[in-house]
Structure 1
Amino acid sequence: METMENVDAVIVGSGFGGSVAAYRLADAGLATVVLERGRSYAPGQFPRSPAEVGKAFWDPSENLYGLFDVWSFKGCDSVVSSGLGGGSLIYANVMLRKDEKWFVHEQALPEGGYEHWPVTRADLEPHYEAAERMIGVRPYPTEHEPYSRTGKTQALQDAAAQLGLEWFRPPLAISFGTHTGAVPRPREPLAEPPYPNLHGVLRTTCRLCGECDIGCNDGSKNSMDHTYLSAAAHRGADLRTLTEVKGVRLRDGGGYLVDYVRHDPETGRREAGSIGCAKLVMAAGTYGTARILLGSRLPGMSRALGTRFSGNGDLLTFLFNTKDRDRLRPLDPGGAPVITSAIRLPDELDGGWGRGGYIEDGGYPAFVDWTLRGLDVPGSVSRAAEFLWERFLQFLSGSSDTNLSAELAELTGGSRSVGTLPLLGMGRDIPDGVLALDGEGRLTADWTVRTSRAYFDRLRTTMQRIADVLDADYEDNPLWLRERVISVHPLGGAPMGRHPGEGVCDGFGEVFGLPGLYVADGAALPGPVGANPALTIAALSERMCRQMIHGDLDPGAGAAGGSAPTEGAVDGGGRAEDGTSLSFTEEMRGRYVAGASDPFAGEQGERLAFRLTITIDDVDRFLAEPERRAVAEGWIDWPGGGGRRRVERGRFHLFVPDDDGSGRKEMRYRLHFTDVRGEPRTLVGWKHLCEGSPTHVWSDTTTLYYRIHAGHPEEDEAEGPALGSGTLHIRLAEFLEQLTTFRTEGPDGLTALHRFGRFFLGELWDVYGPDDCQPVS
């Protein structure tokens, strides 16, 4: 029998979420494999000729293994990517943070239900910053030549000024200069990053060709293959292309099995395979992740799977016969990146009216003018018109072929259209769509513009006003005639939530009821970002990985917004209204012996460690009450339980009398968690402080004896037989670090810290005397 391949982590997809996870997990030392269905594209390999573009679509059933995957659903069409780097290969480089007040909590939706984000802008701020540093972003450099003369940038700025709208230059993931701080100049070789580029091809600065959305052949776009994925490969991640995941299963003994097919474009053959892992990150894009999870039918999956779908308010329109700033010549939308500037429409949440959004200038490269061939020739029927007619007949006949890649592969033609300025809109549409599988296993999406009509009308009206100011002719895209939109930002389908009734995964992307399974792409978003979603997806993945690796993040204010208090809030863990809280962090390491009930049996067994933040919500109350109870939050790292597991509920008691009446005192720990198989587990631990020689103070206060039990027994419940036991220790270096972690919040912080310190030392003085004792179980 062939041995199954097993690794620590498998990541399905290599877009913004998957690439971040690939680097962070590999950097943490996990054996990490990335499965990407598409090819790798080095600079110079993206298709450009009509013949190449005709094959640049993804539909293996038609022997197409290209970059673009085009979908048609009820109410919307979508264009997504297939290639190493995912959507970063074909997006327009905009890296905007989600507006702070657009992280809504229980905002009612028009036809029932609500939109709720279990994370806040504050939760994501450090992770936004990390992603921006790693990718490298800066606004379009209009302060330098030749960038200051870009016609479409000036046009949108002028229109915004006359209409009293907010105009700005968003951060772009483009290298305009050879290195950070360099003066921007086109076509100059880029400085080498601290890690080798996985393509091994020279990259140059942006040459202002407008080819961002069809793959940058100069490497000036800071796409994920040039940034996170190159860093991941340098750290040992195994990046496997042309490997399409078909389903996931539970693995016997814990973890997951991932079933895939390996494509060979030369022969058309497909080779099936499977790989096992303890941690599985779904990052195949909104459609890919939803289709895989829906088809896999994993037990315990939330009924929210498939819900909260939206197109992020995407709307494409056109301004024809647009003139330059001097109104003398037709505006050329080329000679710049696809997007250089934006107008922000305020939301009712931040002082505007209705649901907010953005309007961004668009562009296209001159060489693709042949795709517009018939549009400028009176009396001829262009291939684009033929395509729309075929779509109309398809609509009338009820055909349900939702993948249009093969059909679009035939859509090539040519001509020139000077003075045409595309406008790209996006914003907070209504996330009330549903993704599902039809009887033949094909993905469907039930979403229409109807419930978002007010938002789209506002967006279109603003675009029409921009056309009027620029003395241009406004036109909707042809699909709008049938109330359809084209979305390049599909979101939702496996949304975050506070509990399984609300979402598929929690605020860290971990799927409810399926520990070790994560969602790290647009599918996890419970509603529209409003702005371009790439940076928010990357930041959420950064936060997910931080929690996965270190387990030291607070769930955030969004997790409890609008709901009953969490267990931690009921029992402590936050500062009392008029009191002073105190917290410190403790890290211990040691061994676990499976099947042993005696934690003093020795040090043989597998490793186990934890890192806890102990929080006393009110120091005065804590010192006065006999049980001296505090909240313990953090993680337990136990390979036998699936690696690093979050403490779901933790209790700590300081200097409580031993139950046997001996006069000994204990520090007690009770930590509830769930192993990788979804089984509830509880670590019950204690430190003995025995009357005796003061020389025992160090060993007694830095040695924890513990047992692990099945279930989540409370302190007044019988724990049942131990699954295993062991001892943990604090090393001197970790103890010295622990001393630096003490924090207070509230009035009289320093006084509270001194009171706690005096109490702690006083208790030690009271305990230790001339008599020694042996620890008892």
Structure 2
Amino acid sequence: MSASHSRRRFLGTALLQSAALAGLSTFTATARAADGSTRLDPGAVTPARPLGQLGRVPAVVVGSGYGAAVTALRLAEAGVPVVMLEMGRLWSQPAADGRIFCKTLSPDGRAMWFKDRTEAPLQTFLGLDVINRKIPRYAGVLDRINYPGISVYLGRGVGGGSLVNGSMAVTPKRSYFETVLPEVNADEMYSRWFPLANRTLGVEVVSASWFETARSQRYARVARDAAHRSGFKTTFVPTVYDTAWLQREEASQQPRSALAQEVIYGNNHGKRSLDKTYLADAMATGRVSLYSLHQVLRIRREATGDYLLDVRQIDEHGTVLAEVQVRCGTLFMCAGSVGTSELLVKARDSGDLPQLSDEVGRGWGHNGNVMAARTNPVWLPTGTLQSTMPFMGIDDWAHPTRPAFVEITPLPTGIENWVSMYLGVTRNPERATFRYNASTGQVALDWRREQNATSVATLKALLDVINTQEGTRYRTDLFGGGRAFADDFTYHPLGGCLLGRATDLIGQLKGCPGLYVNDSSLIPGSVGVNPFVTITALAERNVAGVLASGRLG
């Protein structure tokens, strides 16, 4: 990173922190001219004008996750003023307890998006209901949307899923990427867009020598060695967690986050979430106005060709502060696979955007996600200190009939549990469709539980080999109901507005000039690894294509 880029990122981060310190949920940063150049300082953050008073704006970006952050930054760098709408809050200022995010094992309202009780992936431990807790309803950082056949975890806040994921920054295998997105030039992706995404996200790989001796990585080494003894290959997994910080955490030289059991409800230290990378860069341009706690409810197109959005503003406790409208020449839908798909399906089927293709809402998949855990023998403890940021995976994607990339994940209980836990990313061809119910005005996903069978069978086949070799068994006390496999949720929702089917090849929706999708909903259900690097790189490619096309309204 160049010195000028480092300075811009520092200033952008300071701007976000200044806005949070000032209690601003809507704000902008104004560039100041000095000595013939454009500069920013942290004091340049100011309250944004109320959304309903803006009139027509050039470009609106809905969301603030990976695709949204890329889109806002590149538009702003090109001189386009951007209004960014995010339904969650800004997470940049410590609360009264001195922490931005709550502890995973002692959650409060900050944990979940307007829930009365936490809904963690693990339901029990030793068969006891000790994982989930009652909490006050609040605009928390993690949401779990429960459809009839599957639940989907989403990040809520400025930075989207980057706030709640495990930082695993994996570039997919080129051969599989070419199968999933054959319309996209793979040479460009792997020579230009993936490297750009990795640089800007701050992706790195943990020190192998430190990994081999670190107390916090014992759980990963135990699972890795069992995989090797069973004939499987493993690989280090790149990360956006600051590994130097993590090493200092273990040495008790820095406040702990990954080593303080923090992950799904946010990390207080160490993680390079989007508010510290792309979004910081975007704010530092001085051309992005950020409206957090603003949820888009409705989208329609006017006779002029402009897009009109109905938006609800709330406070952190869910009180409605205003319901307003904003008009734009160009609209970028970057609310994620679920958010973008639901809004567009509703717009089409309710008659607001009847021009949208029938392909909108189709092609959704859960990236083949399924979880399981094994019990290790007593002479192979996994350790009482475990990093919540995983750095190791089992790479069995070359298997001819049941390819899988299996993350070795922690179970950081703070006590010895002898558990090796896994999140499988499998090749599952099953897909689902978002459907609008006119009588309720809601959109649902028609995924059926039996569509998970391929993913369960794939992970089971792999872990059966390890269990047989090691003489071990599955844990059935973690996921509720005595289940060995958790196939009722996903961390990796993909699809719903597929590139080249619902859209053209740079994300413009067919039938709606000036309306773009630039997020995970473009990817048809599977990418074979944790998807956020792919989402970021594809968004870089697409927004460059939009800018080159000269189509901005």
Q: TM-score, normalised by structure 1?
A: 0.56
Is residue 113–residue 142 contact of structure 2 (8 Å, CA) maintained in 1?
A: yes
Which residue of 1 is the match for residue 357 of structure 2?
302
Deviation at 1:266, TM superposition (A): 4.9
**In structure 2, what is the equivalent of residue 137 of structure 1?**
203
In structure 1, distance between residues paired with 2:139 and 2:538: 30
Describe the superposition over 1:371-391 as per-residue Cα deviations: whole angstroms up to 9, x where unpaired.
xxxxxxxxxxxxxxxxxxxxx
Q: In structure 2, what is the equivalent of residue 17 of structure 1?
A: 67
Partner of 2:46: none
Higher relative contact order (CA 8 A, sep 6+): 2
Choose the corresponding residue for 1:185, options 248, 257, 268.
Answer: 248
Counterparts of residues 470-485 of structure 1 (less than 5 Å): 470-475=470-475, 477-478=479-480, 484-485=487-488
Identity %: 27
Q: What residue in structure 1 maps to residue 264 of structure 2?
A: 213
**Cα pair distance change 1:187/1:254, threshold 3 Å:** farther
CA distance in 2, matches of 1:246, 1:223: 27
Residue of structure 1 in register with 2:300 after alignment: 249
Counterparts of 1:365-404 in structure 2 under 5 Å?
365-366=412-413
Aligned to 2:312: 261
1:531/1:5 CA distance change after superposition, 3 Å: same
Match of 1:612 in 2: none
2:370–2:485 Cα contact (<8 Å) kept: no
Cα distance change on mapping 1:58 and 1:143 into 2, 3 Å = same
1:456 aligns with 2:456: yes
Mean Cα displacement is larger for which, 119-128 or 536-545? 119-128
Shift of residue 216, structure 1, vs aligned partner: 0.8
Of residues 480-489 and 131-140 in structure 1, the stretch that sits farther from structure 2 once superposed is 480-489
Residue 143 of structure 2: aligned partner: 69
2:165 is matched with: 91
Q: CA contact under 8 A between 1:75 and 1:483: conserved in structure 2?
A: no
Are the aligned partners of 1:4 and 1:274 in contact in 2 as well (CA < 8 Å)? Answer: no
The alpha carbon displacement at 1:527 in A equals 3.0
1:365/1:244 Cα in 2 relative to 1: closer, same or farther (>3 Å)? Answer: farther
Is 1:488 the counterpart of 2:491? The answer is yes
Return the alpha-carbon distance in structure 1 between the equivalents of residues 470 and 396 of structure 2: 19
Taking a change above 3 Å as real, the CA distance of residues 474 and 505 of structure 1, as seen in their structure-2 partners, is same
Question: 3-state SS of the aligned residue for 1:542?
Answer: helix
Q: Within 5 Å, give how 1:58-457 maps onto structure 2.
A: 58-59=113-114, 63-103=137-177, 105=179, 117-125=182-190, 126-144=192-210, 148-149=214-215, 150-177=217-244, 185-186=248-249, 208-218=259-269, 220-236=270-286, 237-266=288-317, 268-297=319-348, 298-320=353-375, 322-323=376-377, 328=379, 330-332=381-383, 334-347=385-398, 352-366=399-413, 418-438=417-437, 439-448=439-448, 450=450, 453-457=453-457
SS of residue matched to 1:208: helix
Amino acid at match of 2:363: R
Distance verdict in 2 for CA 1:261–1:166, change over 3 Å: same
Cα 1:70/1:169, change in 2 over 3 Å: same
Q: Is the 8 A contact 2:497 2:517 kept in 1?
A: yes
Structure of higher CA gyration radius:
1
| Superposed displacement of residue 270, structure 1 | 3.4
Give CA deviations for 1:386-441 in whole Å, capped at 9, x if unaligned: xxxxxxxxxxxxxxxxxxxxxxxxxxxxxx67222321111221242111123312
How far 1:492 sits from its partner (Å)?
Answer: 1.0
Unpaired runs of 5+ residues, structure 2, are 1-51, 117-135
| One-letter amino acid of the structure 2 residue matched with residue 527 of structure 1 | G
Structure 1 position 302, deviation (Å): 0.7
* Equivalent residue letter for 2:275: D
Compare 429-438 and 42-51 and name the one that shifted more.
42-51
- Count, aligned residues: 467
- Structure 1 partner of 2:465: 465
Report the secondary structure of 1:143's partner residue.
Answer: helix
Structure 1 spans left out of the alignment, 5+ residues: 106-114, 191-202, 368-415, 498-502, 552-634, 644-675, 677-777
Separation in 1 of the partners of 2:416 and 2:384?
10
For the structure 1 residues 121 and 210, does the alpha-carbon distance in structure 2 shift closer, same or farther, using more than 3 Å as the test? farther
Seen in structure 2, the aligned counterparts of structure 1 residues 472 and 340 have a Cα distance that, compared at 3 Å, is farther
Structure 2 CA distance, aligned partners of 1:541 and 1:341? 27
Aligned to 2:510: 512
Cα 1:45–1:483, aligned 2, differ >3 Å: closer, same or farther? closer
Shift of 1:529: 0.7
Query: Closer, same or farther in 2 for the Cα pair 1:464/1:57, shift >3 Å?
Result: same
Compute the RMSD of aligned alpha carbons: 3.0
SS for the counterpart of 1:418 is coil
